[in-house]
């Protein structure tokens, strides 16, 4: 559990809050329970480092308020629309025996031990987070799904995930799916062009000479020989003179 030092603030106007932000602090408020809301400020550098950590909104923090520790749960962060910097944070007091509703992330382990993934299966994650109703003293940081031995066609429903004691999903009345291991999508290969038969290849070779020039058809050859003979017969009388 992270412990953070914060400062009590007495800002009342927008100008005072703006000045606080310029000094590198983020205004925040602690609410919930029987105590009054407490206005505080926290270092922007610290709050940004906490936000960058995984599951910030589902982890309990201890705020040291004027030397007194207070367990809280981050509930909402407001960001600047231009700079995307955090400009306000809401913290909910953790009251013993109370319950809170949180979105808890799902973590998948032993991917390398899944025969389905090894055979090219695809893990379809339906819910990366599951909304749960949790006792404040028993809030899980993540839900574990073990892929060891899981094959294609298997699915993970909320009933197959072990939840901490007294932790229940907010969706009741149905055993909803968290993830499935589906078969790989097979891409159809383009059809190959039909190959020419050996006989057709031989016909192409016969139709061309060895030097690459096309041979004249047999009918044309005979016609040329007839024309040549007739020409010689016509020239014969002149040669006798």
Delimit the CATH 2.170.120.20 region(s) of the chain: 100-182
Q: With a cut of 80, say whether residue 40 has pLDDT above it.
A: yes
Q: With a cut of 80, say whether residue 229 has pLDDT above it.
A: no
pLDDT attached to residue 193: 64
Highest-confidence segment of 13-17, 198-202, 236-240: 13-17
pLDDT attached to residue 191: 62
Q: With a cut of 70, say whether residue 224 has pLDDT above it.
A: no
* Rounded percentage of the chain residues whose pLDDT exceeds 70: 76
Q: With a cut of 90, say whether residue 200 has pLDDT above it.
A: no
- Phi, psi of 201, rounded to the nearest 5 degrees: -65, -40
pLDDT attached to residue 141: 87
Delimit the CATH 2.40.240.10 region(s) of the chain: 2-94
pLDDT confidence bin for 59, thresholds 50/70/90: confident
pLDDT confidence bin for 22, thresholds 50/70/90: very high
Cα(45)–Cα(192) distance, integer angstroms: 62
pLDDT attached to residue 7: 94
Supply 56's token pair: 């910030």
pLDDT confidence bin for 235, thresholds 50/70/90: very low
pLDDT attached to residue 212: 42
* Rounded percentage of the chain residues whose pLDDT exceeds 90: 62
Q: With a cut of 60, say whether residue 161 has pLDDT above it.
A: yes
What value does the mean pLDDT take over residues 173-188?
85
pLDDT attached to residue 20: 94
Average pLDDT of the chain is 82
pLDDT attached to residue 157: 96
pLDDT attached to residue 195: 57
Domain 2-94 part of CATH 2.60.120.260: no
Q: With a cut of 90, say whether residue 227 has pLDDT above it.
A: no
Superfamily, domain 100-182: Ribosomal protein L25, C-terminal domain (2.170.120.20)
Q: What pLDDT digit, counting tens, does each position of 104-153 carry?
A: 999 999 999 999 999 999 999 999 999 999 998 888 889 999 999 999 99
Higher pLDDT, 206 or 92: 92
């Amino acid at each position: 559990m992270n412990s953070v030092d914060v400062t009590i603030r007495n800002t009342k106007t927008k100008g005072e809050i703006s000045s606080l932000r310029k000094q590198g602090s983020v205004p925040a408020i602690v609410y919930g329970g029987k105590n009054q809301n407490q206005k505080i400020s926290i270092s922007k550098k610290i709050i940004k480092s906490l936000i960058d950590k995984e599951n910030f909104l589902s982890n309990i923090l201890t705020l040291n308020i004027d030397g007194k520790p207070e367990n809280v749960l981050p509930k909402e962060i407001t960001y600047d629309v231009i700079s995307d910097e955090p400009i306000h944070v809401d913290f909910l007091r953790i009251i013993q025996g109370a319950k809170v509703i949180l979105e808890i992330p799902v973590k998948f382990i032993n991917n390398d031990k899944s025969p389905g993934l090894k055979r090219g299966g695809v893990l379809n994650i339906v819910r990366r987070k599951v909304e749960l109703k949790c006792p404040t003293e028993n809030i899980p940081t993540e839900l574990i799904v073990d892929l060891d031995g899981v094959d294609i066609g298997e699915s993970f429903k909320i009933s197959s995930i072990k939840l901490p004691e007294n932790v229940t999903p907010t969706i009741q009345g149905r055993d909803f799916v968290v993830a499935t291991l589906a078969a790989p999508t097979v891409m159809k290969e383009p059809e190959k062009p039909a190959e020419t038969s050996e006989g057709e290849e031989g016909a192409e070779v016969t139709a061309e000479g060895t030097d690459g020039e096309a041979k004249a058809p047999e009918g044309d050859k005979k016609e040329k020989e007839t024309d040549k003979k007739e020409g010689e017969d016509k020239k014969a009388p002149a040669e006798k003179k």
